[in-house]
Amino acid sequence: MAGNGLDGSELYRTLDPEGMIKKINEFPLMCRQAWAAALDFPLPSSYSAVDNVLVLGMGGSAIGGDLLSGLVASESRVPVMVCRGYILPAFVDKRTLVIASSYSGMTEETLAAFESSIKKGAKSLVITTGGKLQARANEEKIPAFVFSYPAQPRAALPFSFLPLLCFIQKLGFVKDKSPDVRETFSIIDQLYGQLNESVPVSDNLAKQIAQEMHGRLPVIYGAEILAEVARRWKTQFNENSKAWAFYEVFTELNHNAIEGYQFPPELARQVEVALLQAPSLSSRVQLRYPVICELLKEAGVSYRLVDAWGNSQLSQIMSLVLLGDYVSLYLAMLNGTDPTPVHRIDYLKSKLARQPMSYQLEE
């Protein structure tokens, strides 16, 4: 498809009939709604007396926990971790706050781990739109943050991330984030104006990156607070663009991945690396970026440095999340595919549904 095809409104009407672009355009509004609702949500005061926080989730519902964990790792007085899967970590006890996050409320891995946390007597909280998760929370009289936003789970990221941040702020685990939130709202408003589908390729960074990645294998590099943003880019390329994609994390990639640039040599021409960077990254990490670019160039691998916006770490995270969402949408258009349906995921779930589980796994 010709590059300027991304500037035609007919393309979006044809390939995006369910309006994924509309969901991405609503990202700034969603952030405001999610933050306001979380501020109004009451939490038991006893929830501040915990030794750790564990977020349960999968896919688009888990990434909020990942972003939170990276954001507050150097500040939170209790560790914040994420559990993806059926099996609850052994450390969970009455001094753990378990937050089960499932957009649909029907994610079987999350439900199974949640049941185990109830049996262990953990302090519990639920984030969902409904389903079995809400029903179990109601039965057990567990606080449930229930929101309504019709979309694919990955498109509702503000509701899986910002309430988590708000809750640990309210519980006193981190300082007041209000100034950072205000800056973030301002930044993402500006980015909407620069990245939405009406902005032409010549002025639209997201469209330009999508063009560079079209027909190539996207590999995303991130560091520290941007490590999980790199994961978000990767999963958005998978689900929205229906494309292979991978991500790597500094500084670990410096100890292994860089030795893999050599073979197979023909792959070098098929890879496009995006290196996500931000001013808040530690100085020793920042020193590595130009060296990696030098090595990529030497190996014949195309790459682009992608800068975050804003002064706060929250703004830097959310600005790159929004940029990546737009890139994945425009790459879907270039791939000639509808970004919304996830037929293979649905197929897998339908197969699993033939052997339903009780959500009571053996210990």
Predicted confidence (pLDDT) per residue in 13-24, tens digit: 999 999 999 999
Inside any domain, residue 340: no
Same-domain status, 144 and 74: yes
pLDDT band per the 50, 70, 90 thresholds, residue 1: very low
**Does position 362 have pLDDT exceeding 50, yes or no?**
no
Predicted confidence (pLDDT) per residue in 170-191, tens digit: 999 999 999 999 999 999 999 9
- Which of 62, 21, 32 has the alpha carbon at shortest distance from 228? 62
Inside any domain, residue 196: yes
Same-domain status, 131 and 212: no
CB 53 within 8 A of CB 79: yes
Whole-model pTM? 0.96
Segment (H or E) for 84:
none
Inside any domain, residue 361: no
CA–CA separation, 125 and 148 (whole Å): 17
CB 87 within 8 A of CB 184: no
- Last residue within a domain, chosen from 133, 152, 176: 176
Same-domain status, 31 and 70: yes
Of 94, 119, 175, 349, the catalytic one is: 349
Angle at 241 between CA 238 and CA 242, to 5 degrees: 55
Same-domain status, 156 and 224: no
> Catalytic: 239?
yes
Give first-to-last CA distance, the chain, whole Å. Answer: 53
Predicted confidence (pLDDT) per residue in 122-139, tens digit: 999 999 999 999 999 999
Of 115, 183, 239, 248, the catalytic one is: 239
**Does position 121 have pLDDT exceeding 60, yes or no?**
yes
Same-domain status, 319 and 223: yes
Q: What is the chain's mean pLDDT, rounded?
A: 96
Inside any domain, residue 349: no
Q: Note the pLDDT of residue 358.
A: 67
> Which whole number is the average pLDDT over 42-70?
97
Predicted confidence (pLDDT) per residue in 305-344, tens digit: 999 999 999 999 999 999 999 999 999 999 999 999 999 9
Same-domain status, 11 and 42: no
Predicted confidence (pLDDT) per residue in 243-290, tens digit: 999 999 999 999 999 999 999 999 999 999 999 999 999 999 999 999
Inside any domain, residue 363: no
Supply 54's token pair.
């564990």
Tell the residue number behind the tokens 């039965």, with chain if given. 139
Q: Note the pLDDT of residue 355.
A: 86
- Which of 193, 174, 210, 147 has the alpha carbon at shortest distance from 4? 210
> Catalytic: 207?
no
Same-domain status, 165 and 214: no
Instruction: Locate the DSSP E strands across the chain.
Output: 52-56, 80-83, 96-102, 123-128, 144-146, 217-223, 246-250, 271-277, 302-307
> Catalytic: 214?
no
Inside any domain, residue 287: yes
**Does position 62 have pLDDT exceeding 90, yes or no?**
yes
Same-domain status, 60 and 159: yes
DSSP line for 20-41 = HHHHHHTHHHHHHHHHHHHHHS
Domain count, the chain: 2
- Last residue within a domain, chosen from 151, 176, 201: 176
Of 10, 139, 141, 255, the catalytic one is: 255
Same-domain status, 184 and 327: yes
Range of the domain at 107: 20-176
